[in-house]
C-alpha cells in the first residue's frame, strides 16, 4: 500500500507530530513562518542547520549574512520555549 492509500488520519497525525517536533526544536519552515525579505536567515538558525554557506560564491544577501556571522552580532533568534500551565 502506498502512503496515499493509508488513510487521512495517519497522515494528519504525522503532520501534527512533525509540526510539534519543529516547534520544540525552533525550526521555522517556508515563507509563511519566515517571511520573504523580512528577516535575515540567521534569525531562523539557518546557519546552525547548514542552510547557509560561507564558502559558496555570490548569493542574494551574502554581504549582510557574512557580516553578521563574522561579527557575531545577531540581534534576534527564533528559539523554542516551553510554558507550564
Q: Is the pLDDT of residue 1 over 80?
A: no
Closest CA relative to residue 47, chosen from 70, 23, 22: 70
Q: Does this model's pTM top 0.75?
A: no
Q: Tens digit of pLDDT for each residue in 46-70? A: 888 888 887 877 777 778 888 788 8
Q: For residues 69 and 67, what is the distance between their CA atoms, to the nearest angstrom? A: 5
Amino acid at each position: 500500500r502506498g502512503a496515499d492509500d493509508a488513510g487521512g488520519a495517519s497522515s494528519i497525525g504525522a503532520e501534527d507530530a512533525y509540526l510539534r517536533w519543529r516547534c520544540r526544536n525552533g525550526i521555522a519552515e517556508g515563507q509563511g513562518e519566515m517571511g520573504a525579505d523580512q528577516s535575515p536567515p540567521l534569525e531562523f538558525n539557518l546557519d546552525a542547520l547548514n542552510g547557509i554557506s560561507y564558502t559558496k560564491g555570490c548569493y542574494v544577501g551574502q554581504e549582510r549574512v557574512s557580516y553578521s556571522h563574522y561579527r557575531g552580532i545577531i540581534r534576534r533568534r527564533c528559539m523554542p520555549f516551553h510554558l507550564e500551565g
